[in-house]
A and B are shown apart, each in its own frame.
Chain A
Amino acid sequence: MAAIFQGVGAAEALSSSPFNSFDSNKSIFSPRRSFSVRKGASFAVVRSDGTVNLNLKGRRAQQLISNAVATKADSAAASSSSKPGHELLLFEALQEGLEEEMDRDPHVCVMGEDVGHYGGSYKVTKGLAKKFGDLRVLDTPIAENSFTGMGIGAAMTGLRPVIEGMNMGFLLLAFNQISNNCGMLHYTSGGQFTIPIVIRGPGGVGRQLGAEHSQRLESYFQSIPGIQMVACSTPYNAKGLMKAAIRSENPVILFEHVLLYNLKERIPDEDYICNLEEAEMVRPGEHVTILTYSRMRYHVMQAAKTLVNKGYDPEVIDIRSLKPFDLYTIGNSVKKTHRVLIVEECMRTGGIGASLTAAITENFNDYLDAPIMCLSSQDVPTPYAGTLEEVTVVQPPQIVTAVEQLCQ
């Protein structure tokens, strides 16, 4: 399994994005969303071949982060300019991926609310309208159903639109288009039309955004036949998945997370993509397999530190591909550890964890020493009050308890 990163080194190296005006210390957001950057947990750069560069910060006491999200680049990495690659934040990585693909293929265009002149409500499309013009970066009116439909219609002719939902929850209005037209047209036309569309947007529980703006749509979309779903969690895989999604002939839904946009990481300068159906091995281990995705990855890594202190050796896999599941990587892990814990932000009922539990039980039941545990968000609308909101999602102490229970 050659790493994409290494393989590309041999190929022609494309120049890195001309976008280099990011502020490494502070990002300016729209006043609607306030954002606080906390002292970070360790961060790991993971290559797709499974080699991991762990950058543990040692055992120094961390303040317990109940909303562990962003990481400040540790000073050691920032000062060593001899390291390859460049540092950027997750939203900039998405922007870089999008820009590179738009440079590469004139059929790629972006549609969404406030993506053009405003620069995108999370700055993912900042600067693109100026560079590519109004025909390729389109500000739409607030009409999700129809502009998603228009994107699908354009994709039928061969264009490759990237539809942005300002918040994933708004895409519920376009559910008919996504389910019936996007997912099914390739099948019902007998293979005549492909829909190379990318539908992306931030979702998940944010910082007291309220019930309607904290939705997790993975569970609703997961049974639509014909679409692929991926969730990014680091700048590295955000850029890689964005590029792979744009190049894919299938419709892809890319789930981002509102609280992860300010993660900083050093990513390669070369052109690379991440396989859309591959899971990422975050931390190899022996005792238990922890499957997670998106923001919960950071809660899990937080808990992993505590667990390591207590003597456990968890294997953490970021499943990344929500549809279809990477049962190969997951299966190999289950065969090794015989215990599975799923940590997700989706709802308990009918969420990704529920499907994953079913899939693992069906395929790997013989290898399990204990029933699969699934930690998900509570089946409640996300409350506004901060304390209540914290309890809605899975927190690191709960993960630690679950692993201890599982490993008895």
Chain B
Amino acid sequence: MALSYLRSSSSRSANLLKPLSSGLSLRSPISTDTTPITVETSVPFTSHRCDAPSRSVETNPKELLTFFRDMALMRRMEIAADSLYKAKLIRGFCHLYDGQEAFAVGMEAAITKKDCIITAYRDHCTFMGRGGTLLEVFAELMGRQAGCSKGKGGSMHFYKKDSNFYGGHGIVGAQVPLGCGLAFAQKYSKDETVTFAMYGDGAANQGQLFEALNISALWDLPAILVCENNHYGMGTAEWRAAKSPAYYKRGDYVPGLKVDGMDALAVKQACKFAKEHALKSGPIILEMDTYRYHGHSMSDPGSTYRTRDEISGVRQERDPIERIRKLILSHDLASEKELKDIEKEVRKEVDDAITRAKESPMPEPSKLFTNVYAKGLGVESFGADRKEVRATLP
């Protein structure tokens, strides 16, 4: 990949004067350095009915290191979830996101916590990106009380209301109308925020998607529909499921952008562009060209419909974490050892979280009946021995 960077030498020399904990290293404290670096994306953007954003992305060492750390954390978390599933501590469905982490981190870098995100069932890493903790993730996966949905949701139902993460949905495609509803609420409240409604290449053939897109375009809603195209809808390759696999063009009258989803910086650029577009002129479709290493879910080996060579080929050439690692090393932002240390740290964090999650108890039996209804207006569900019937005006 072509690299070009601009760095003022004066800032570099000024950094030499700062006291450094690592002693011999002459580099600036990388965790807080925000000197701008410009990087070019791996491939140019392809656009439909709009002008593609520039290939040059502004970033800085802090951001790159954050990307590396967050993606390493997500990767580690998903692999740990794999082992937990095989150890039968996680049951039911478990859809893993490893390989696709670049989208979760890149999108977060371009938006705020006031913007809404809604996705389908491959939501562990998106939840982490929104500020979820490892403990909440593992506890929820194992069905414990400390989980983000108190153990009642499971792998496919992660939600985080305070950072506007709306889940976590099991039915393919059903989250897209919900996402357009979130965008409608944002427009209604005049928030100047946007909604990212994510779906996969399999869900792209759902009718309700086009219905929701039509309504969003009609009403000028700030909705960004993101197709995370990992090229396989469970076991069916995209060319076998879609007559037109150019998902970014499927919106017809809605502009679209195709992005290399394994390049976190390209994702960041595209999401920034999309947010500006959505606030000004309504919905836009982003297609993220990405890949998942695991099968569709834990019950799918992932190799009956694609070759192992393909999987390892992508891992060698396009892995998102490796890309950022190369970028960091070539810009001298950290040493190999420091990056390996980060990975070790992350591994330990994940192991600790699993231990703590295992200690969390299962939900109480009485919790079976909580949260079926919300209480309000003096309206309560009673059985045969209800004593009082009242309705009160608030």
Question: For the complex, is B340 an interface residue (Cβ under 8 Å from A)?
Answer: no
Question: For the complex, is B234 an interface residue (Cβ under 8 Å from A)?
Answer: no
Chain B residue contacts of A228, Cβ below 8 A: 373, 379
CA distance in complex: A244, B214 (Å): 32
Q: Which of A185, A247, A328 is the one whose CB lies under 8 Å from B386?
A: A328
CA distance in complex: A159, B186 (Å): 10
Q: Are B182 and A156 in contact (CB under 8 A)?
A: yes
Question: For the complex, is B342 an interface residue (Cβ under 8 Å from A)?
Answer: no
Interface centre among A2, A150, A324 (most CB of B within 10 A): A150
Chain B residue contacts of A11, Cβ below 8 A: 393
Comparing B32-40, B171-179, B255-263, B280-288, the segment that makes contact with chain A is B171-179
Q: Are A363 and B384 in contact (CB under 8 A)?
A: yes
Q: A149-B177, A153-B180, A328-B384 are in contact. Are A247 and B376 (CB under 8 A)?
A: yes
Tell me how far the C-beta of A215 lies from the nearest C-beta in chain B, rounded to whole angstroms: 21
Instruction: Determine the main DSSP class of B at the interface with A.
Output: loop
CA distance in complex: A152, B208 (Å): 14
Question: For the complex, is B97 an interface residue (Cβ under 8 Å from A)?
Answer: no
Question: For the complex, is A274 an interface residue (Cβ under 8 Å from B)?
Answer: yes
Question: For the complex, is B161 an interface residue (Cβ under 8 Å from A)?
Answer: yes
Q: Are A327 and B383 in contact (CB under 8 A)?
A: yes
> Residue-by-residue, is B217-233 near A (CB-CB < 8 Å gives 1, otherwise 0)?
01100000000000000
Question: For the complex, is A193 an interface residue (Cβ under 8 Å from B)?
Answer: yes
Chain A residue contacts of B184, Cβ below 8 A: 150, 153-154, 159
Comparing A123-131, A176-184, A296-304, the segment that makes contact with chain B is A176-184
Chain A residue contacts of B120, Cβ below 8 A: none
Question: For the complex, is B188 an interface residue (Cβ under 8 Å from A)?
Answer: yes
Q: Are A149 and B212 in contact (CB under 8 A)?
A: yes
CA distance in complex: A187, B318 (Å): 39
CA distance in complex: A177, B189 (Å): 24
Tell me how far the C-beta of A61 lies from the nearest C-beta in chain B, rounded to whole angstroms: 39
Question: For the complex, is A192 an interface residue (Cβ under 8 Å from B)?
Answer: yes
B359-381 with Cβ < 8 A to chain A: 370-381
Tell me how far the C-beta of A346 lies from the nearest C-beta in chain B, rounded to whole angstroms: 22
Q: Which of B170, B180, B373, B391 is the one whose CB lies under 8 Å from A4?
A: B391
Q: Are A145 and B379 in contact (CB under 8 A)?
A: no
Q: Are A154 and B185 in contact (CB under 8 A)?
A: yes
* Minimal Cβ-Cβ distance residue in B for A104: B394
* Minimal Cβ-Cβ distance residue in B for A276: B379
CA distance in complex: A282, B370 (Å): 34
Q: A153-B178, A159-B185 are in contact. Are A194 and B214 (CB under 8 A)?
A: no
Question: For the complex, is B325 an interface residue (Cβ under 8 Å from A)?
Answer: no
Comparing B12-20, B151-159, B266-274, B297-305, the segment that makes contact with chain A is B151-159
CA distance in complex: A50, B374 (Å): 28
Chain B residue contacts of A141, Cβ below 8 A: 211, 214-215, 218
Q: Which of A143, A156, A191 is the one whose CB lies under 8 Å from B150?
A: A191
B128-165 with Cβ < 8 A to chain A: 147-154, 157, 159-161
Q: Which of A138, A196, A327 is the one whose CB lies under 8 Å from B219?
A: A138
Interface centre among A181, A185, A188, A225 (most CB of B within 10 A): A188
Q: Which of B168, B372, B373, B389 is the one whose CB lies under 8 Å from A278?
A: B389
Q: Are A226 and B372 in contact (CB under 8 A)?
A: yes
Q: Are B180 and A150 in contact (CB under 8 A)?
A: yes
Interface centre among B160, B177, B219 (most CB of A within 10 A): B177
Question: For the complex, is A186 an interface residue (Cβ under 8 Å from B)?
Answer: yes
Chain B interface residue count, Cβ-Cβ cutoff 8 angstroms: 66
Tell me how far the C-beta of A160 lies from the nearest C-beta in chain B, rounded to whole angstroms: 10
Q: Are A150 and B150 in contact (CB under 8 A)?
A: no
CA distance in complex: A249, B177 (Å): 21
Chain A residue contacts of B187, Cβ below 8 A: 135
Q: Are B377 and A248 in contact (CB under 8 A)?
A: yes
Question: For the complex, is B167 an interface residue (Cβ under 8 Å from A)?
Answer: yes
> Residue-by-residue, is A1-27 near B (CB-CB < 8 Å gives 1, otherwise 0)?
110100110010000000000000000
* Minimal Cβ-Cβ distance residue in A for B191: A157
Chain A residue contacts of B157, Cβ below 8 A: 188-189
> Residue-by-residue, is A314-348 near B (CB-CB < 8 Å gives 1, otherwise 0)?
00000000001011110100000000000000000
Tell me how far the C-beta of B121 lies from the nearest C-beta in chain A, rounded to whole angstroms: 12
Q: Are A190 and B211 in contact (CB under 8 A)?
A: no
Question: For the complex, is B388 an interface residue (Cβ under 8 Å from A)?
Answer: yes
Interface centre among A138, A158, A181, A274 (most CB of B within 10 A): A181
Question: For the complex, is A260 an interface residue (Cβ under 8 Å from B)?
Answer: no
Q: Are B182 and A154 in contact (CB under 8 A)?
A: yes
Question: For the complex, is A250 an interface residue (Cβ under 8 Å from B)?
Answer: yes
CA distance in complex: A327, B383 (Å): 6
Q: A149-B177, A152-B178, A327-B384 are in contact. Are A189 and B215 (CB under 8 A)?
A: no
Q: Are A147 and B159 in contact (CB under 8 A)?
A: no
Chain B residue contacts of A177, Cβ below 8 A: 174, 177-178
B174-209 with Cβ < 8 A to chain A: 174, 176-182, 184-189, 207-208
> Residue-by-residue, is A264-298 near B (CB-CB < 8 Å gives 1, otherwise 0)?
00000001011111100000000000000000000
CA distance in complex: A393, B176 (Å): 40
Q: Which of B168, B373, B390, B393 is the one whose CB lies under 8 Å from A226?
A: B373
Question: For the complex, is A48 an interface residue (Cβ under 8 Å from B)?
Answer: yes
Question: For the complex, is B95 an interface residue (Cβ under 8 Å from A)?
Answer: no
Q: Are A1 and B174 in contact (CB under 8 A)?
A: no
Question: For the complex, is B5 an interface residue (Cβ under 8 Å from A)?
Answer: no
CA distance in complex: A147, B211 (Å): 8
CA distance in complex: A363, B383 (Å): 10
Q: Which of B147, B167, B376 is the one whose CB lies under 8 Å from A249?
A: B376
* Minimal Cβ-Cβ distance residue in A for B381: A324
Interface centre among A151, A156, A177, A225 (most CB of B within 10 A): A156
A170-217 with Cβ < 8 A to chain B: 176-177, 180-181, 185-194, 196
CA distance in complex: A1, B379 (Å): 14
Question: For the complex, is A382 an interface residue (Cβ under 8 Å from B)?
Answer: no
* Minimal Cβ-Cβ distance residue in B for A271: B393
Q: List 26 A-B contacts (CB under 8 A).
A: A4-B393, A146-B215, A149-B208, A150-B177, A153-B179, A153-B180, A154-B182, A154-B184, A156-B166, A157-B116, A181-B178, A186-B372, A188-B153, A188-B154, A189-B161, A190-B147, A193-B161, A226-B372, A247-B376, A248-B376, A250-B379, A273-B393, A277-B389, A278-B391, A324-B382, A363-B384
**Known A4-B393, A146-B212, A188-B168; further 5 A-B contacts with Cβ < 8 A:** A147-B177, A187-B372, A188-B159, A192-B159, A278-B391
